[in-house]
Structure 1
Amino acid sequence: MIRILVRALVYLISAALGLLVASLILDDFHAHAGGFLLAVLVFAAAQMILSPFIVKFVQRNAEAFIGGVGLVSTFVALLLATLLGSDGIQIDGVTTWIAATVVVWLVTALATLFVPYLLVKAGVKQARENRADAAQN
């Protein structure tokens, strides 16, 4: 159960980072404060649900495209987040859609590598502080 919660937290953090970075570096990618949280939730959920299905589909039908699964699932998740995310993000233009897909995919991929490490590091620090506090009492 804890593993699932940590995985969901990692997806949420990496989705938020990916969408924020894209909004900072792409002129036609806009993150709106009012609906951003919902857009992050939709994007993260779509990524968690769609990625395994897309991998299976590609493995069965077009194995040469297996490397592009992350990009495809990121694009579909961005599409769903713009449609269902209560105007949390807005992407204008084909070039921005392509760039946003690559940027968000790259940032979320890097975040899923580093965020678990940071969470574990924070957890270890908290456990040490709790142990030190308990020893003092």
Structure 2
Amino acid sequence: MTALLKSVAISAAANAAALAVAAWLFDRFNIRFGWFVVAVVLFTALTVVLRGVVVSTVNRFARGYTIAGGLVLTLLGLVLTDLVVPASGFAIDGVGTWIGVTLIVWAAGIAFGEVDSAPPPKR
């Protein structure tokens, strides 16, 4: 398995687990199984692309910006997923739910980054 495929598979697993936990914890985050698969694939694709862009453009020593950027990109990925997937299959309602889901999925992304062995893209 290539490093990229391994990285995407680990990312998808982390995203699936994080979205499942978030849906279980928050009553105002609803996701249906069939759409769950679509949401995980879409969100993973978005975050892998966005992560590549951030890693290749942000100075590796700017850790604070990377953390804030990760939160923003996680939120952006969730917003785009929420816009693409029909509300009957994926819906996040309420500011508190958006914040909580974003933090859970972001934390899973941090954990993913710790186990992902793929090297960052060359600058």
Q: In proportion to residue count, which structure has more helix?
A: 1
The structure-2 alpha-carbon separation of the partners of 1:64 and 1:103, relative to structure 1 and needing over 3 Å to count, comes to closer
Partner of residue 93, structure 2: 92
Runs of 4+ in 1 over 4 A off after TM superposition: 55-59
Query: For the residues of structure 2 that align with 1:63 and 1:9, how far apart are their CA atoms?
Result: 25
Q: Give deviations 1:41-82, integer Å, cap 9, x for gaps.
A: 1100010011232455665xx985332121111101111111
TM-score if structure 2 supplies the norm length?
0.77
Structure 1 CA distance for aligned equivalents of residues 58 and 106 of structure 2: 18
SS at match of 1:8: helix
Q: How many residues were matched structurally?
A: 114
Uncovered stretches (5+) of structure 1, i.e. residues with no partner: 117-137
Identity %: 32
TM-fit CA distance, 1:84: 1.6
RMSD: 2.5
Partner of 2:43: 43
Tell me the residue number matched to 2:16: 16
Partner of 2:30: helix, strand, or coil? strand
| Unaligned residue ranges in structure 2 (runs of 5+) | 118-123
Structure of greater Rg:
1
Map of 1:106 onto structure 2: 107
Q: Distance in 2 between matches of 1:47 and 1:80?
A: 11
Alignment of 1:1-137 (within 5 A): 2-55=2-55, 59=59, 65-87=65-87, 88-113=89-114
